[in-house]
Amino acid sequence: MLAGLQRGARERAVWRRAGLTTNYAVAFAVKAVDVDVVAVYPITPQTTIVEKIAEFIHGGELRAELIHVESEHSALSAAVGAAATGARTFTATSSQGLELMHEVLHIASGLRLPIVMAVPTRALSAPISIHNDYSDIMNARDAGWAILIASTAQEAYDTVIQAYRIAEHPDVQLPVMVAYDGYLMSHTLEPVELYREEHVREFVPRRGRRNVLDVRSPITLGAFATPDNYYEFKYQQEAALRNVEGVLREVEADFAARFGASYGPLEAYRLEDADYALVTYGGAATGNARVAVDMARERGIRVGLLRIRLYRPFPSAPIITALAGVKAFAVIDRAIAYGSPAPGPLYKDVAAALYMEGLTVPGISVVHGIGQRAMYVEDFYGVIKMLAEGASTDKVLFLGLRE
């Protein structure tokens, strides 16, 4: 519930209410923060972002350079060049595009460049699929970027705006990905409240206190590091990424004061008194899980839902707090970590976090929605029942799979 004060702030900040796809909402956020350089290569389901941004630029609504790169590898490379020159920079991609960028993902974070990238997620080839899952993002999770996963168009809009504050924060100076469900969100209309751009620009001021390419003080970026120093630079990156959780809270406090909204690193739903928990991320899985939780609650099962919004750095402490009291949990992943101890990437993170705290809460690794395989509320409800009955000896479930 919005406090009265925040509601007032929001009413002042909102410029217009519109029905937008998440991709369009993201494009509006890019315009609102007054991005300078955009380098994007088309790929489904990302493409409508760059199309919308092109409309803004060609229409004179956004003063930015749109670099019509010839690949995603070049998109991120151009973004690196632009960010190294001090420009506020945006890129976006999905699936194969994110894979093609992979080399440069590590370079962008290694060079400590505050690039923001939107990723409407999509399954990976082969076989080629244009539909949704989170294989692309999960393959990028160890590249040193902060990763936030939004679950609504409004949240994606807000998160892109916040992402610039986080990325450019002096304690962070790292690139940030904002992910969400391809198609299920990227191409689905939702009501979105857009803010007055003056308000957004006040929220994301230009600080420009980092080392950039400038003939007035020539520096070398992209140096070669020997074993004497390489490790220290990589640790710097790790330390900076760990700062993101605190910075996110700080940034969100300010965001709440100005725009009357905040999300936190994770979202707990009916978890306070829960015996069981579902854990997931993104739009569709969260939506289904929420309905399944309500159904179960109606039938007397005390179950709650934990949605992970900040995925990297992993917010272990609040997750442990949220899960410490439950009898069992299930993590519903939208990707397969092939051949891993558990098939769910998020499950592995949650299990490791609990283990490191000395907790042994029983958990199930559930995979669903691969290549946009339809996820039904009943599937999620079935998982809850399984948890509640304690009957399952299965630690791994591939839901929706035909035998």
Partner 1 sequence: MSGWRSLPAGAAVLRPGSTADNITGTWRVVRPVIDQERCIRCGICWMYCPDSAILELKREYTTRGGKRYEVTYEVDYDHCKGCGICANECPVKAIEVVLEAK
Partner 2 sequence: MTYRTIRDLPREELFAPGHSMCAGCGAAIAMRWLTKVAGRNTIIVNATGCVEVTTTQFPHTAWRVPYLHVAFENAAAAASGVEAALRVLASKGLRAPSGEKVVVVAGDGGTYDIGLQSLSGMLERGHKVLYVLYDNEAYMNTGIQRSGSTPKYAWTTTTPVGPHIKGKVQWKKDIMGIVLAHRVVYAATASIAYVVDLANKARKALDYSEEGPTFLHVLAPCVPGWRYPENKTVEVARLAVETGYFPLYEWERGAFRLNPPSNTHMDKSRRRPLKEFLRLQGRFTHLTDQEIAEIEAELDTYWNHLAKLVQAYGQ
What is the contact surface with partner 1 in residues (CB under 8 A)?
Answer: 110-113, 173, 210-211, 218-223, 225, 228-229, 232-233, 235-236, 239-240
Between 11 and 214, whose beta carbon lies closer to partner 2? 214
Q: Would residue 335 be called left, alpha or beta, if left means φ above 0 and alpha means ψ between -120 and 50 degrees? A: beta
Q: Which position has the token pair 């220290």?
A: 232
Between 89 and 372, whose beta carbon lies closer to partner 1? 89
The rounded distance, in Å, linking the Cα atoms of 352 and 369 is 24
The rounded distance, in Å, linking the Cα atoms of 173 and 193 is 29
The rounded distance, in Å, linking the Cα atoms of 372 and 184 is 9
Number of neighbouring beta carbons within 10 Å of residue 126: 5
Length of the chain: 403
Any contact of residue 64 with partner 2 (CB under 8 A)?
yes
Between 226 and 393, whose beta carbon lies closer to partner 2? 226
**String of contacts with partner 2 for each residue 78-107, x by CB under 8 A:** xxxxxxxxxx-x-------------xx--x
Contacted by 13, from partner 1, partner 2, none: CB < 5 to 8 Å by type: none
What dihedral do alpha carbons 223, 229, 235, 241 form, nearest 10°? -20
Residue choice 59, 127, 218, 358 for contact with partner 2 (CB under 8 A): 218
Run of H or E including 9: helix 4-13
Contacted by 10, from partner 2, partner 1, none: CB < 5 to 8 Å by type: none
The rounded distance, in Å, linking the Cα atoms of 160 and 388 is 38
Any contact of residue 18 with partner 2 (CB under 8 A)?
no
Q: Is the Cβ–Cβ distance between 150 and 156 less than 8 Å?
A: yes
| 259-298 positions binding partner 2, by CB under 8 A | none
Contacted by 46, from partner 2, partner 1, none: CB < 5 to 8 Å by type: none
What dihedral do alpha carbons 379, 383, 384, 386 form, nearest 10°? 130
User: Which positions ≥6 away from 283 have C-beta within 8 Å?
Assistant: 22, 150, 151, 152, 180, 181, 184, 185
Q: Is the Cβ–Cβ distance between 162 and 146 less than 8 Å?
A: no
**String of contacts with partner 2 for each residue 44-63, x by CB under 8 A:** -------------------x
Between 231 and 355, whose beta carbon lies closer to partner 1? 231
Contacted by 240, from partner 1, partner 2, none: CB < 5 to 8 Å by type: partner 1
Contacted by 236, from partner 1, partner 2, none: CB < 5 to 8 Å by type: partner 1
Contacted by 338, from partner 1, partner 2, none: CB < 5 to 8 Å by type: none
Any contact of residue 213 with partner 2 (CB under 8 A)?
yes
Any contact of residue 224 with partner 2 (CB under 8 A)?
yes
User: Which positions ≥6 away from 308 have C-beta within 8 Å?
Assistant: 149, 265, 266, 279, 280, 281, 315, 319, 346
Between 68 and 327, whose beta carbon lies closer to partner 2? 68
Interface residue list for partner 2 (CB under 8 A): 36-37, 39, 63-65, 67-71, 73-75, 77-87, 89, 103-104, 107, 111, 206, 208, 213-216, 218-226, 229
